[in-house]
Amino acid sequence: MFDSSEVYRVPFRAGTATLIQLEPGEVIDGPASGMGMGDSKAWKVGAKSNWILFKPTEAHADTNLIVVTDRRRYAVELVTSDRGEAAVWSLNFTYPDTRSREAQAAAKKQLLAADRARSSAATSLHANEIYDMQGDTVLAPTSMWDDSRFTYFRYATTRDLPDINRVLPDGSEALVNSHVDGDTVVVHETAARFMLRLGKSVLGVRNNGYTPDGRFNTTGTTVPGTVRITKEHDQ
């Protein structure tokens, strides 16, 4: 475990190399990084990216090594291994500060997910699902609703998404503004009628709960929570 106040003891033997592996993404060859060795003449040293490789050229080359990266400072004591003591061939670290950041990020992600879930639940409690559909059922969403502000078309993620147009009072069509959120197309408005088109397929959608002031018409004739689909085209 990395501790900036610790001096790490690394036993070595003549003829063996040692690798120090730093954290992924940490660099030793940056503009503000550097490395210094007490007795550099007794060692062959190579360093790049986040690793340092060194090998003694003399039998007794005890010294120290200071490494400054773009993230941390390391202090290493290089000592000849005692009789029966194994030489260190590779040294790496665990980083409490990184683990703490990752834990905080994971906790934040969970909080955001919980907020989205609560928001979704609140939206579903105030959703208008009173829609009729006529035309090519291949274009029909698996579910559809609006919250008096946006209209939501949920599809299986593997399906091609149709163009969604709002039907104007004169019968002409205007392409809506929308974005995709996961498996749902979110249209940035509500309307009395939509027309969905993909190739030669056409599906008409009527909002039976629509009112111009944005409030739901809960007395619509369609059963709330259901979508009726018929095969004939909506002309």
DSSP 128: B
Distance of alpha carbon 43 from alpha carbon 10, whole angstroms: 14
Beta-carbon-side half-sphere exposure of residue 60 (alpha carbons within 13 Å)? 1
- What tokens does 234 get? 């909506």
Considering the domain 7-95, what is its CATH architecture?
A: Sandwich (2.60)
pLDDT tens digit sequence for 191-226: 999 999 999 999 999 999 888 765 554 444 444 444
Listing from the earlier edge strand, what are the strands of the sheet with 7-12? 7-12, 73-80, 63-68, 34-37
Distance of alpha carbon 79 from alpha carbon 117, whole angstroms: 57
One DSSP character per residue, 70-95 reads SS-EEEEEEEEPPTTPPPP-EEE---
pLDDT tens digit sequence for 112-146: 877 776 666 555 556 899 999 999 999 999 999 99
Fold agreement between 7-95 and 131-207: yes
User: Counting every residue, how long is the chain?
Assistant: 235
Determine the CATH number of domain 131-207.
2.60.40.2500
pLDDT tens digit sequence for 138-152: 999 999 999 888 999
List 164's β-bridge partners, or say none: 196
> What amino acid occupies position 93?
F
Distance of alpha carbon 177 from alpha carbon 2, whole angstroms: 51
pTM over 0.75: no
One DSSP character per residue, 148-216 reads SS-EEEE--TTSPPPEEEEEPTTS-EEEPPEEEETTEEEESS--SEEEEEETTEEEEEEETT--TTS--
The domain segmentation of the chain, as residue ranges, is 7-95, 131-207
pLDDT band at 101 (very low <50, low <70, confident <90, very high): very high
